Structures are given as structure tokens and as C-alpha cells.
């Protein structure tokens, strides 16, 4: 913990900002029921009551900081629960995607031969189809429920994780210590866990941040299209969709959850940039 | 046959195989799912008779290969089946909408490509200046913004506050070309902003990559001016990666169009696809997915072939 603070102190401003944004979101997601003034689906007023910026807005108790949404629920509360649902699902999906992708990638890199060929060619075909289109097709058959959503997105995303973890493992696999372990007669799992994984960890951590952003934006987009999380669950993408009609009257409510999505993505990107920068030690790689 | 033709043919063959596998996945994906599709779609209360009728309508009572062959020959002959929801031929539903989507994508590409390439070059030329930093900050944030966020901000400012453009993109056949252009201005700007960031970043990176080569250093030491070096030495060599970037981003645009169409209630293929997914209208979904996926595959294929032609290094794989 002490090392973490030291590291953070030496970080540039952009990275500190990123860490700050992520911590706020994680805090909101974990303590949602404690922070939120109302319950997730409580109706407290009329539609789009107006928030602190509107002097004529009706008073609510406890105070409704950002006003109400399209059916009179407290927007601030929905935003906080939205953090919990959207970020939580994106996080679980990214974890699953990494589990599948890394395992397959490491196996392909260690065994080579036909296993590698079969896995890599399958991934090639999957990657030739745009992710959103592929997901829409599967959801039209399976219907939209949270488990389906998580599994579908995780598998589609695992193809990208597979590519990178295979490439990283390929570089490690030719090292002498792996050779030694193989000659010693260690099994596949032992080599993956004790030789490859520890050495591949650094680049994969940065990749985790990037994949999380992608998955998070992807779930938000699906929810915005009405095909992700279903009402009355609070979720940032669907909140944009539900309140979208207000924009024609100059009501900024749909922009608030959209901005929350953008903010978290920027935050994670800032931290990932810093991390890559530190790991590579080179200024201009891109 | 020389090596170049052979490589291109190989790449084309891979493209054809990919399209074939995609068509297999699309038409038979239904098969891989657990449980019975008819039951899942009609619900538990469906009677055996309606279930049987529904299976017949979808062709689920026939063996797998028959279904695939019927579907793929239908597609190749321009017969895409009948919509489950509206009972109209899918071709009729798709026709005009496909045109609208292509129109929107083409207009966005026509704005995005020149702007992105010029700005990317300028950012590389004035590297580390305030202009470069401004560009990289803006592109970084637009990459992180979801399409709908960009879209609604534009609506709020350009349509609601200042009333410059219409907030909903309506098209009809009585409009002339410029009226249509005006009607789609907001979705086109949104799409442009979304793809321009990637394109610009990658153009800048490609040019900077070339700028570190020994022959550029040589030209600098010879005393050539910086702009002359960029035009005469850097640009021709950066052309291959830049062309690749452009085509890859056009492929990305094809997908981005789905969300943007929904934001602006634009009568295009993306909107139809999303509606059909929520209605679970399989024949329409299959046809539109096939169109989107093949466009994507073809654009990626073009990018690879152009890269092989314009970059001699790629002709000799290790």
C-alpha cells in the first residue's frame, strides 16, 4: 500500500486524474445503496424535474441533486446504481474474456502445431466479423439476458486477448528457462503457471485496461440500442436511450450518463497510457 | 505466375473462405443453441400446432444442409426470404435503407478522409507543438467518447440551441441532392468525428515512423527544408500505411453507422437491424448481418491487397 502511494506521487498529473476518476467510480459502484439518496426504482416527481441549476425546480427531500429522469426517478440515484451495474458487468465480462483468452493463447504458444493452427484460424474468422454485428446476431437468437450478454461479449472479446497473449507467450516460450522446464519434464499447466504467466503479466495488465474500456463502451452501446441491460435496471447506456427524447427540448439529462461513460473511459485510458509509458520507457512509440 | 499475384490470390481466397464461414455461422448459428428455437421465441404457452407451423415457416423441419443451401442460393439470387414480423419480402425492406446507409457512409468518408490525412500530416510536421498536443488531446477524448455522446452533444448545440441543422435525419424521394445532404448533416458530422480521430492518429504515427528512417536523416543533413522532405521523401513512403489506415477506418465506419442511425432516427440498414434484433425477426437479421459482415470483410481485404501492392517489403514474408 505504501509503495502504491509512492508510485502515485511520482505519477504525472494526467495519471493522477485517471486514478482519481476510477476510484470515484469504484467507490460509487461498491457503496451504491449507502450513497444513493433514494432506492433504484423509486418514483419521486414528474418527468425531468430539473436539478440544482434550475431555480424553479420542485423541492424534494432528500434533495434531488440532478433532478429526475423521464418517469420521475431521481437521476443521481440512477447514476450511482448505473455505475454499479454497468461497471460491474463490464468488469466480470473482461475477467471472463481474459480467463478464456489467456488460457487459449498460452496453450497455443506452448503446444504449437495443430492446436495453435486450429485456435488461430478460428480466431481469424471470428475477428473478420465486426463485433457489434456478431453480437447483434447472437442476441437476436438467444434473447437479451445478463448471463447471455456477459458470455457473448466475453467470447467475442477473448479473440483479441488470445492474439496478444499468444504473441507475448511466443516470445517467452523460446527462452532457455522454458526449455529447461520442458526438459525437466514439467507438464503444460506447470509451465504456463510458473514460467509463462509471471513473465507475461506486465503487458497483459495494460491490455486489461484497454479491453475493459472496449467492453464497457460495447455494453453501453448495446444498452443504448435497447439490447443490453433491460429496464428497470439502472444502467448508463439505457439511461441515455430512455431520456433521449428530452434532448429536442434542450433537456440535458441524456448527456449526463453519456458523460459518465466518457469520463470513466478517459480515466482508464489515462492510467493505461501512464502504465505503458512507464513499462516501455520510450517516449515516441506510436 | 509471379509472387505478387500469388500473394494477392491467396489473400482473396482467404476472403472467400471467411465469407463462406460467416454465411455458415449466420444461417446455422440457430442450430448451435441449446433448446428449441421455436419454443424459445413463441414462449411456453405456444400450442404444438403453432410450434409446428412456426418451424415450417423458418424451415426448421428440414435437415441442416438443405436449409443452408436454400438460404445461400436464395441470397445469391437476390431472394432474402420473408420477414417474420411484417410478412413482407426482406428485399423490399432492405432496398431503400441500404441506399440511405451507403449515402450516409459515403458522405462521412468524403469529409473524413481528406481532413484526417491533412491534419495527421500537419501534426507530424509540427510535432510536439501546441497544435500537435491539441490534436492528440482531442483525438484521445473522441476515441473514448461513445458515438451517442458525440451525437447528442451536436444535437444540443447545433440543432436545439442554435438551430443550424435538423435534429432528426428524415429523407424522402422528393428532396433534391442538396436537401438530402442538409438533412443528414448531423449524423454525417458525428460519424466523421468518430472515425477522424483514429485516422488522424494513425496517419501521424505512420508519418513519424517514416521520419525516423536513415534516408530522412540524410536528407536533413543535406540541408533540405522540412516541408520538402515531407512531401518528397516521407509522404511516398508513408502512403502504404496511410492507405491501409483509411480503408480499415472505412470498415469501422460501416459498424459505427449502426449506433449513429439510431441516435438520429435515420431510415438506414443499421436502424432496421437493431429493430429486427429486438423483434427477433431472424430473416431480416440474417440478411442485414450478411450485408454488414461482407462489406467489412471486403474492405479489410482491399486494405490488405493495397498494402501488398504498395509496400514491396510485405511481398517477402519471413
Question: A150 in a domain, yes or no?
Answer: yes
Question: B96 in a domain, yes or no?
Answer: no
Question: B306 in a domain, yes or no?
Answer: no
Q: What is the pLDDT of residue A91?
A: 93
Query: For the complex shown, is ipTM > 0.85?
Result: no
Three-state helix/strand/coil letters over B153-205: HHHHHHHHHCCCCCCCCCCCCCCCHHHHHHHCHHHHHHHHHHHHHHHHHHHHH
**Model confidence, pTM:** 0.84
Interface A–B counts its CB contacts (< 8 A) at 133
Out of A137, A240, A284, closest to residue B208 by CB: A284
Higher pLDDT among residues B152 and B34, named by residue: B152
Question: B242 in a domain, yes or no?
Answer: yes
Of the listed ranges A114-118, B14-18, B59-63, the one predicted with least confidence: B59-63
Percentage of chain A exceeding pLDDT 70: 91
Handedness of CA B218, B222, B225, B229 (dihedral sign): negative
Question: B92 in a domain, yes or no?
Answer: no
Q: Tell if the CB–CB gap between A266 and B141 is shorter than 8 Å.
A: yes
Q: Tell if the CB–CB gap between B262 and A248 is shorter than 8 Å.
A: no
- Between CA B153 and CA A255 the distance in angstroms is 7
The residue-averaged pLDDT of A266-285 equals 71
The residue-averaged pLDDT of A109-136 equals 85
The residue-averaged pLDDT of B54-70 equals 74
Whether B71 shows a pLDDT value over 90: the answer reads no
Out of B144, B251, B300, closest to residue A265 by CB: B144
Whether A282 shows a pLDDT value over 50: the answer reads no
Instruction: Tell me which chain B residues have a C-beta less than 8 angstroms from the C-beta of A269.
Output: 140, 143-144
Nearest chain A residue (CA) to B207:
A286
Cα-based distances in Å from B252 to A207, B18, B204, B296: 21, 18, 19, 8
Instruction: Tell me which chain A residues have a C-beta less than 8 angstroms from the C-beta of B208.
Output: 284, 286
Among B129, B211, B237, B208, residue whose Cα is nearest residue B220? B211
Question: A104 in a domain, yes or no?
Answer: yes
What backbone torsions phi and psi does residue B126 show, to the nearest 5 degrees?
A: -100, 50
pLDDT band at B31 (very low <50, low <70, confident <90, very high): low
Q: Tell if the CB–CB gap between A221 and B205 is shorter than 8 Å.
A: no
The residue-averaged pLDDT of B240-260 equals 81
Instruction: Report pLDDT digits (tens) over B102-156.
Output: 888 888 988 888 888 888 888 877 777 788 888 877 777 777 788 888 888 888 8
Q: What is the pLDDT of residue A279?
A: 67
Which residues form the domain of B226?
103-280
- Judged by CB atoms within 8 Å, which residues 120-149 of B form the interface with A? 140-141, 143-149
Q: Tell if the CB–CB gap between B292 and A133 is shorter than 8 Å.
A: yes
Of the listed ranges A74-83, A131-140, B242-251, B289-298, the one predicted with least confidence: B242-251
Q: Are A103 and B266 in contact (CB under 8 A)?
A: no
- Our count of domains for chain B comes to 1
pLDDT band at A101 (very low <50, low <70, confident <90, very high): very high
Question: A60 in a domain, yes or no?
Answer: no
Question: A36 in a domain, yes or no?
Answer: no
Percentage of chain A exceeding pLDDT 90: 9
Question: Which residue in B277, B292, B295, B318 has the most chain A C-beta atoms within 10 A of its own C-beta, making it the best mutation to test that interface?
Answer: B277
Q: What is the pLDDT of residue A92?
A: 93
pLDDT winner (highest mean) among A21-30, A65-74, A95-104, A227-236? A95-104
Which residues form the domain of A231?
76-280
- Judged by CB atoms within 8 Å, which residues 139-198 of B form the interface with A? 140-141, 143-149, 152-153, 155-156, 159-161, 167
Whether A281 shows a pLDDT value over 60: the answer reads no
Our CA-based measurement puts residue A141 at a distance from the nearest CA of chain B, in whole angstroms, of: 7
- Between CA A75 and CA A61 the distance in angstroms is 14
Question: B292 in a domain, yes or no?
Answer: no
Of the listed ranges A108-122, A124-138, A196-210, B124-138, the one predicted with least confidence: B124-138
Nearest chain B residue (CA) to A264:
B144
Question: B120 in a domain, yes or no?
Answer: yes
Among B286, B288, B305, residue whose Cα is nearest residue B254? B288
CATH code of A92's domain? 1.10.3720.10
Instruction: Report pLDDT digits (tens) over A237-269.
Output: 888 888 887 777 777 788 888 888 988 988 888
Instruction: Tell me which chain B residues have a C-beta less than 8 angstroms from the C-beta of A138.
Output: 29
Question: A85 in a domain, yes or no?
Answer: yes
- Between CA B283 and CA B89 the distance in angstroms is 10
Q: Mean of the per-residue pLDDT values for chain B? A: 79
Helices (H) and strands (E) in chain B, counts: 14, 0
- Our count of domains for chain A comes to 1
- Between CA B290 and CA B42 the distance in angstroms is 25
Collapse the DSSP code of B147 into the 3-class scheme (helix H, G, I; strand E, B; otherwise coil) and give the result. helix
Q: Tell if the CB–CB gap between A254 and B152 is shorter than 8 Å.
A: yes
- Judged by CB atoms within 8 Å, which residues 258-317 of B form the interface with A? 258-259, 262-263, 273-274, 276-278, 280-282, 285-286, 289, 292-293, 296-297, 300
Question: A214 in a domain, yes or no?
Answer: yes
Out of A128, A262, A286, closest to residue B18 by CB: A128
Q: Tell if the CB–CB gap between A221 and B146 is shorter than 8 Å.
A: yes
Question: B228 in a domain, yes or no?
Answer: yes
Percentage of chain B exceeding pLDDT 90: 0
Our CA-based measurement puts residue B262 at a distance from the nearest CA of chain A, in whole angstroms, of: 7
Question: Which residue in A82, A214, A225, A242 has the most chain B C-beta atoms within 10 A of its own C-beta, making it the best mutation to test that interface?
Answer: A225
Instruction: Report pLDDT digits (tens) over B201-230.
Output: 888 888 788 878 888 888 889 988 878 887
Question: A3 in a domain, yes or no?
Answer: no
Question: B289 in a domain, yes or no?
Answer: no
The residue-averaged pLDDT of B309-314 equals 70
Question: A140 in a domain, yes or no?
Answer: yes
Higher pLDDT among residues A152 and A55, named by residue: A152
Among A280, A256, A21, residue whose Cα is nearest residue B148? A256
Under an 8 Å CB criterion, which residues of A touch B? Answer: 124-125, 128-134, 136-143, 213, 217, 220-221, 224-227, 237, 240, 244, 247-250, 252, 254-255, 258-259, 261-262, 265-266, 269, 284, 286
Q: Are A272 and A209 in contact (CB under 8 A)?
A: yes
Instruction: Tell me which chain A residues have a C-beta less than 8 angstroms from the C-beta of B266.
Output: none
CATH code of B190's domain? 1.10.3720.10
Amino acid at each position: 500500500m505504501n509503495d502504491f502511494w509512492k508510485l502515485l506521487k511520482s505519477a504525472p498529473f494526467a495519471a493522477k486524474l485517471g486514478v482519481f476518476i476510477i476510484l470515484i467510480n469504484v467507490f460509487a459502484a461498491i457503496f451504491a445503496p449507502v450513497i444513493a439518496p433514494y432506492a433504484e426504482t423509486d418514483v419521486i416527481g414528474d418527468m425531468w424535474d430539473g436539478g440544482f441549476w434550475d431555480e424553479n425546480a420542485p423541492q424534494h427531500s432528500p434533495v434531488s441533486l440532478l433532478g429526475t429522469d423521464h418517469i420521475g426517478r431521481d437521476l443521481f440515484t440512477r447514476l450511482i446504481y448505473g455505475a454499479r451495474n454497468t461497471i460491474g458487468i463490464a468488469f466480470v465480462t473482461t475477467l471472463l474474456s481474459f480467463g478464456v483468452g489467456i488460457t487459449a493463447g498460452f496453450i497455443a504458444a506452448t503446444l504449437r502445431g495443430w492446436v495453435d493452427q486450429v485456435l488461430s484460424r478460428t480466431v481469424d474468422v471470428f475477428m473478420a466479423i465486426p463485433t457489434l454485428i456478431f453480437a447483434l446476431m447472437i442476441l437476436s437468437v438467444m434473447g437479451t439476458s445478463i448471463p447471455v450478454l456477459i458470455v457473448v461479449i466475453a467470447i467475442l472479446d477473448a479473440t483479441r486477448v488470445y492474439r496478444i497473449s499468444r504473441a507475448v507467450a511466443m516470445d517467452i516460450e523460446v527462452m532457455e528457462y522454458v526449455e529447461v522446464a520442458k526438459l525437466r519434464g514439467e507438464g503444460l499447466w506447470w509451465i504456463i503457471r510458473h514460467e509463462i504467466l509471471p513473465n507475461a503479466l506486465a503487458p497483459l495488465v495494460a491490455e486489461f485496461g484497454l479491453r475493459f474500456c472496449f467492453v464497457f463502451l460495447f455494453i453501453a452501446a448495446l444498452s443504448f440500442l435497447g439490447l443490453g441491460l433491460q429496464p428497470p435496471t439502472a444502467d448508463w447506456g439505457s439511461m441515455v436511450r430512455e431520456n433521449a427524447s428530452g434532448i429536442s427540448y434542450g433537456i440535458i439529462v441524456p448527456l449526463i450518463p453519456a458523460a459518465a461513460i466518457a469520463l470513466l473511459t478517459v480515466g482508464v485510458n489515462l492510467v493505461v497510457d501512464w502504465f505503458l509509458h512507464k513499462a516501455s520507457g520510450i517516449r515516441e512509440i506510436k | 505466375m509471379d509472387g505478387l499475384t500469388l500473394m494477392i490470390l491467396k489473400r482473396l481466397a482467404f476472403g472467400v473462405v471467411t465469407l463462406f464461414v460467416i454465411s455458415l455461422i449466420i444461417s446455422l448459428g440457430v442450430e448451435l443453441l441449446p433448446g428449441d428455437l421455436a419454443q424459445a421465441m413463441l414462449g411456453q404457452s405456444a400450442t404444438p400446432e403453432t410450434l409446428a407451423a412456426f418451424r415450417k415457416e423458418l424451415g426448421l423441419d428440414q435437415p441442416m444442409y438443405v436449409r443452408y443451401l436454400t438460404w445461400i442460393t436464395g441470397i445469391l439470387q437476390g431472394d432474402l426470404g420473408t420477414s417474420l414480423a411484417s410478412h413482407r419480402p426482406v428485399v423490399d425492406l432492405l432496398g431503400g435503407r441500404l441506399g440511405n446507409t451507403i449515402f450516409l457512409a459515403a458522405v462521412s468518408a468524403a469529409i473524413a478522409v481528406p481532413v484526417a490525412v491533412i491534419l495527421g500530416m500537419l501534426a507530424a510536421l509540427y510535432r510536439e507543438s501546441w497544435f500537435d498536443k491539441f490534436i492528440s488531446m482531442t483525438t484521445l477524448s473522441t476515441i473514448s467518447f461513445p458515438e451517442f455522446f458525440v451525437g447528442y452533444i451536436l444535437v444540443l448545440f447545433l440543432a436545439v440551441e442554435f438551430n443550424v441543422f435538423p435534429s432528426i435525419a428524415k429523407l424522402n424521394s422528393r428532396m433534391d441532392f442538396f436537401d438530402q445532404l442538409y438533412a443528414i448533416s448531423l449524423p454525417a458530422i458525428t460519424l466523421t468525428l468518430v472515425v477522424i480521430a483514429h485516422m488522424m492518429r494513425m496517419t501521424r504515427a505512420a508519418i513519424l515512423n517514416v521520419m525516423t528512417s536513415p534516408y530522412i536523416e540524410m536528407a536533413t543533413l543535406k540541408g533540405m527544408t522540412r516541408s520538402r522532405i515531407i512531401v518528397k521523401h516521407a509522404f511516398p513512403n508513408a502512403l502504404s500505411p496511410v492507405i491501409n489506415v483509411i480503408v480499415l477506418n472505412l470498415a469501422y465506419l460501416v459498424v459505427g453507422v449502426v449506433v449513429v442511425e439510431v441516435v438520429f432516427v435515420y431510415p438506414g440498414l443499421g436502424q432496421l437491424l437493431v429493430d429486427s434484433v429486438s423483434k427477433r425477426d431472424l430473416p431480416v437479421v440474417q440478411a442485414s448481418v450478411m450485408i454488414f459482415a461482407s462489406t467489412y470483410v471486403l474492405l479489410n481485404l482491399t486494405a490488405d491487397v493495397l498494402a501488398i501492392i504498395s509496400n514491396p517489403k510485405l511481398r517477402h514474408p519471413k
